Structure 1
Amino acid sequence: MRHYPLVAGVAVAIAASTLSSPVAIFANPAGTNAAGVEQIRVTPSKRIAVLDLDFANVSKTGTYLGLYGQNGPSKGVSNLLTNELVKDGTYVLIERSKVEAILAEQNLGQSDRLEPSTAAQIGRLLGVDAVLMGSITQFNMEDQGNDVSIGRIFGLGGKQKKQIANVQISTRLVGTATGEILSAAEGSGRADKSGGGGSIFGISASTGGDSSDRLLGEAAKQAVDQVVAQLVTVAPKLAALPEVLPTAEPVIADVTGQEVILNKGGKDGFRPGMVLSVERVIKEVKDPETGKLLRRQTQSIGRLQLTEVDAQSSVGTILNGQGFEVGDRAKAVE
């Protein structure tokens, strides 16, 4: 079986924050003069994550190539898609190793078929505004041409053929706040080359060379470029969506200097850069019959901004206020 560099992997330049943990997401505090004083300026560009494209129902017409392991060319094409989105610069892309880490943590494989609602949940864990998912619907080579035989009794033969690579991909951009499909983008590519070859007494004497790698790469690049162009036009729509703040109220688990650790994270919709009001509980009203909490009265004692988020917890830096204690509650305000 022949191997293709596109499938094996494409070098990806990722524009994402530097990470010290494979499953934690950080806000970049560059430009902050003093911890606990100046609010971090969060980039206005929307953050998206690219999941591996599904390869289960790929067209198998012509000469079928590129099926390596369970995912086939899905990882290579998905990396290429991420790379081209990074080059365009409209969106901020999340490092794909981080996507894989979150999927592993949730017991989901990149090859698993995901519904938009599940993709949205993964996006919230990653702290992104949208998730790009989809399928490779065609990825194959075709050989066109006629064989011409000369003196088969002597083992002589020759042929002239035309190699054609076909790649088609279909994607959906899913908003993480609601699970809504914001856009559907499709792309197709086709590359071909003519070449000749022959054999003498069963020994190959090809003159055209094996150009399948290059042709599949060219076709995939064409398809990806079309998808990227369509996704760029959706950026204003994504930017115009109202910010949906999480409703969960995390509790402070630790306070060390200007750093505060909360007991909720990406699983509940929290993301780096969010600002939370820290609330001190001053009164709880319970149902006299059932003992169920009816209302909690709180008083704001300051604000903090999240700088690091994983699935289960968050880390924030104090913006203003003092006297924060373990057990104080917080709620997202911006």
Structure 2
Amino acid sequence: MKHCVQLLVLVLCLILVSGNVLADFQKNKIAVLPFNLQGADFETEDMGKIVAEWLITAFVKEGRFEVIERKLLGQVLEEQQMIEAGLVTQETASEIGKLLGVKVIISGSVMKLRDVVEVNARIIDVASASIVTAESVSSRNVNSLQALVVEMADKIIRNFPLEGYIANRNETRVVIDLGEEAGVKPGMKFLAYKEGEVVRHPKTDEILYVKQLKTGMVKITSVQRKISEGVIIEETSSDSIEYGDYVKSMNELSPPSTARDKKDRTVEQHRDIPVQAAPIEPPPRIAPASQKKVVSPPPRSNLSSELQSYLDMLGGDDTRQSRWAAKKLYKTYPYEAEVLQEVNRVLLQGYNSRLEDKNHIDAMAWLCKLLANSKENRYMATVQEVIDRTDSPKIKKHAEKAIRSFPGYTGT
């Protein structure tokens, strides 16, 4: 009997200890590779390393990342004989990431054409060796390039939202289980939500999608080492935010560029996008924000639950879901304005990524057809950009066919 009691006490202690470990915030472990140089007449041959250093500094200051130390990174690159410019591909970057024990690798290039310097960065998922998203900045002035790279780092950071729980609620104030160690800062806003309907595969029973039901919004007012306190600034209904709700940090739109900024620099993910949406809370998933003219996810308050589900699936990690949702959305004509804005945004993000994935390619093709089928000429520029820039012959083929449906298309 005494032995059983001791064993029970030991098991309880182990549960408590493991619970504490799980409660500790785990920083995103990333590595930033030296950027490749393309072009000639750079002011220094180390420009690629300098850009990488600027990014590393920005990530470290954010507080939510564990960045691999440069010396260790250099040793791994040298051992793997990948230190020469141009030898780092998605696959080799994934190999390096696995050796370093990181989830994400950030690589890219610095290109110089005449008097314009352009920096391109790619976020590579180590597990799948696929590009999650890409960002780019360009400038005619190398002195302003550092500020642009820091701004690009901010865009990249938004792909890593902080996620936690409501640990306490007292009237209009809440405590969340994320603090300084996680990179939380006063003024940050968090979306509060509960998990809803679970969609499973009909044959494998694999969970394909879990719907997230928004309960409100919280603004952080004070931060401690492991927790933060905030005030409830929005609730979907009376007392909808409860103890145990999930929280996720929200995208904050960058302040608008001044006329001087626009003259001296270009910050863009693709090109200017002809559609703008008012700043609102993000959807359950966090997608990379485009730059200069920011295209944020459109409001969804007036959409049916069915359309909301399709939009949530559209930009998710499961490309089979994305393809299915894109096809379903295409068949919902006439289209809601919010649907068109979100489709426009997702297409601009995705027409040159995951091109090894047939489901993703099919999804992008459906989105081209959807925008063209809307007959709204303001989206013609998006489809034309896909034609001009995509590396996928199939997406280009469908875009070329789709663009003819726009009333303003002249064939030139």
TM-score between the two structures when normalised by the length of structure 2: 0.32
Question: Larger Cα Rg: Structure 1 or Structure 2?
Answer: 1
Where relative contact order (Cα < 8 A, 6+ residues apart) is larger, the structure is 1
- Structure holding more helix per residue: 2
Q: TM-score, normalised by structure 1?
A: 0.39
Higher strand share: 1
